[in-house]
Amino acid sequence: MHTVLKGTTKEVVVGIDRSFVMIGEKINPTGRKKLAAALTEGNLDYVRQLVENQVAWGAQVLDINVGVPGLDEVSIIPKIIELVKSISDIPLCLDSSNPAVLAAGLAVAPGKPLVNSVSGEEKRLETVLPIVKDRGAAVIGLTMDDKGIPATPEERLAVAEKIIECAARIGISIEDIIIDPLVLTVGSDSRAAMITLQTVDLLRKNFGVNINLGASNVSFGLPERPTVNASFLTLAIQMGATCSITDPAKLGLTVRATDLLLGRDDNSMGYLKYFRAAEKLRALEAEKPA
């Protein structure tokens, strides 16, 4: 199963037989005061820096979330997308729970974007899926519904099935759906990661669908988060996850090493190329004045 995303010129294929796709998470002001302030003040230099940095570190898609309380997201998201388009030609992942914001973003997004996200909640299925269909976009489906996030892998699988069926009814094919089995923090429930991993396994075996994870969520509240995130992502890729909303500067080497270990990197070319680029970036960053 292949999900094809397109930017202005770049095409990215998500699939179990492809290298794992990193969706850069950093254009998201949640918990990031500096970005929230930059978006509020209309200071696009900082956003530009985050875009360039993530692309340099190997992000193949960029997540765009402009949700700052009190800010008019509908008018800001097109401006941010135009900025990203002027810097990079990679596909975009529009991250909002507000259908009006998604529609405003989809109107200016290049190629074939990814919508983040729909869920099994009735109202969201009704409002988001038609927008996705009209634009010919792909969509992330979260395994939660009107009752919340199910506790068991089997129940999360059932929500995924509902999303896939609703989408099919209005003409969105399963190739254009990426299921996100949701990661909660292991800091508050030590079984949280296992439940997500088991859901990944069921999704792969039952539907063969592409699977995304917001891998950084797993480590909230814990020390040494990148290590926890990297360990989790490795396990998830082995189980069948095919893309992740993540920080490529922190997780890139782990992701390319996992591709190599799983036989998805002929002659280690992807890993070696990534390693050399990362070495150069680190040297540049070390030279920069603080």
User: Which one, 90 or 179, has the nearer CB to ligand THG?
Assistant: 179
Nearest distance, CB of residue 176 and ligand THG, angstroms = 15
User: Which one, 50 or 202, has the nearer CB to ligand THG?
Assistant: 50
Whether 33 and 62 have beta carbons less than 8 Å apart is answered as no
Nearest distance, CB of residue 60 and ligand THG, angstroms = 16
Nearest distance, CB of residue 2 and ligand THG, angstroms = 19
Tell which residue, 146, 129, 147, has the closest CA to residue 138: 129
User: Which one, 31 or 69, has the nearer CB to ligand THG?
Assistant: 31
User: Which one, 92 or 260, has the nearer CB to ligand THG?
Assistant: 92
Tell which residue, 12, 82, 21, has the closest CA to residue 47: 82
Instruction: Give the DSSP H/E element, type plus range, for residue 262.
Output: none
What are phi and psi for residue 117, nearest 5 degrees? -170, 175
Alpha-helical regions (H) of the chain: 33-41, 44-56, 73-87, 99-108, 122-135, 153-169, 192-207, 225-239, 248-261, 269-287
User: Which one, 26 or 265, has the nearer CB to ligand THG?
Assistant: 26
Nearest distance, CB of residue 267 and ligand THG, angstroms = 33
Nearest distance, CB of residue 116 and ligand THG, angstroms = 5
User: Which one, 228 or 260, has the nearer CB to ligand THG?
Assistant: 228
CA distance 167 to 206: 17
| 36 residue type, one letter | A
Specify the length of the chain in residues: 290
Residue nearest ligand THG, CB atom distance: 214
Nearest distance, CB of residue 244 and ligand THG, angstroms = 9
| Longest pairwise C-alpha distance within the chain | 56
The residue ranges that bind ligand THG (CB under 6 A) are 25, 28, 31-32, 95, 116-117, 140, 180, 183, 212, 214, 216-217, 245
